[in-house]
Amino acid sequence: MDFVTDLETLQTTALEALSAVATPEALEAWRIEYLGSKGKVKAAMAAIKDIPKEQKGAYGKTANGMKQALTAAFDEKKPTVAAAGPKGPIEDITLPGRAPRVGRPHIITQTINEITDIFGRMGFDVVYGPEVEDEQHNFIDLNIPERHPARDPLENFYIDIKAMLRSQTSTVQIRTMETSQPPIRVVAPGRVYRPDTVDATHSFMFHQFEGLFVDEGVTMVNLRTCVDQFCKAYFGEEIVTRFRPSFFPFTEPSAEVDVLFHMPNGETKWIEIGGCGMVDPNVFGAVNIDPERYTGWAFGFGIERLVMRKHNIPDIRTLYESDVRFLHQF
């Protein structure tokens, strides 16, 4: 028996098998079969103990040579198989393309942009104030006395004894008048927070925008016109508005603004969109604007109110749920 020839046959078979390998899986199978810990090379080397003495030397040498040759051939093959990678399905270039999903601003953001555009055309600047506020700006300078129900700690989000989340954008009136003298013409959109129980028309966070106009000779007629013009620009020329006498600590006289809507069921209904009035002299006093020389008006409207009426949205919660099926409509 010529054991050395057996080894040479094994090597030839192994190399032929290796040259036929085309995938990483087949290569691994080959490695296990020949070079693995229970593979044929290992077995051939272990067999040396049974080889007759005269052939042992030649056998050992050939076995080592085979091991080196197969290992080298394996190492050489490996990168070519890996680089080839799996062959994917062939692309059908005649298929129609998929349109990319284009993002867009949220309807609240779109509305804020629309509102600030409308007021921009009337000569108003856009200003912003912080959402974390203090009692000085949220209440005291707005002439809201200590015992006023709006100051009940249960009606507000207090962070600590000094800081709170603002409950109204009226704070931005104060911040604006603290740092500038008339003529002032600003609109201030933003988030406000109140611990209301969430339902179809209430949320613990919502948006308002505040308007403020201070100059010599500013009148309520001017306010009435401006509010009406805004509503016509936002809802359409045919919209009807009214002022209803009301009370706010920071305006005197004060009014609530109602807009007449045609509901989907055919009824018409007055819906309140916010409050307004002539800036109270006490507020001017708090920010060092001379109430003898200047008059001014202010308003604060709920943005969700406007959006929900214009787009017939029955539930405020849908505005915050980030459901793209809903948001995509706007």
Give the nearer residue to ligand DAH in terms of CB position, either 5 or 201.
201
Among residues 210, 241, 286, 287, which is the contact residue for ligand DAH, using CB under 6 A?
Answer: 210
Ramachandran class of 148: left when φ > 0, alpha when ψ lies in -120 to 50, beta otherwise: beta
Among residues 139, 193, 243, 248, which is the contact residue for ligand DAH, using CB under 6 A?
Answer: 248
The Cβ-side half-sphere exposure at 160, using a 13 Å CA radius, reads: 1
Within residues 78-107, the interface with ligand DAH by CB under 6 A covers none
Number of CB atoms found within 10 A of residue 46's CB: 10
Give the nearer residue to ligand DAH in terms of CB position, either 11 or 156.
156
Inter-residue contact 119 to 107 (CB < 8 Å): no
CA distance 142 to 278: 13
Inter-residue contact 200 to 315 (CB < 8 Å): yes
Structure tokens, 47: 């067999």
Does position 275 bind ligand DAH by CB under 6 A? yes
Give the residue carrying structure tokens 């010599």: 216
Give the nearer residue to ligand DAH in terms of CB position, either 11 or 251.
251
Does position 276 bind ligand DAH by CB under 6 A? yes
Closest distance of CB 163 from ligand DAH, Å? 19
Structure tokens, 36: 């693995």
Burial (CB count <10 Å: 0-12, 13-18, 19+), residue 24: middle
Q: Which stretch binds ligand DAH (CB under 6 A): 16-24, 43-51, 195-203, 272-280?
A: 272-280
Closest distance of CB 104 from ligand DAH, Å? 29
Structure tokens, 224: 């009435």
Closest distance of CB 296 from ligand DAH, Å? 10
Does position 176 bind ligand DAH by CB under 6 A? no
Residues that bind ligand DAH (CB under 6 A): 168, 170, 210, 248, 251, 254, 274-277, 298-300
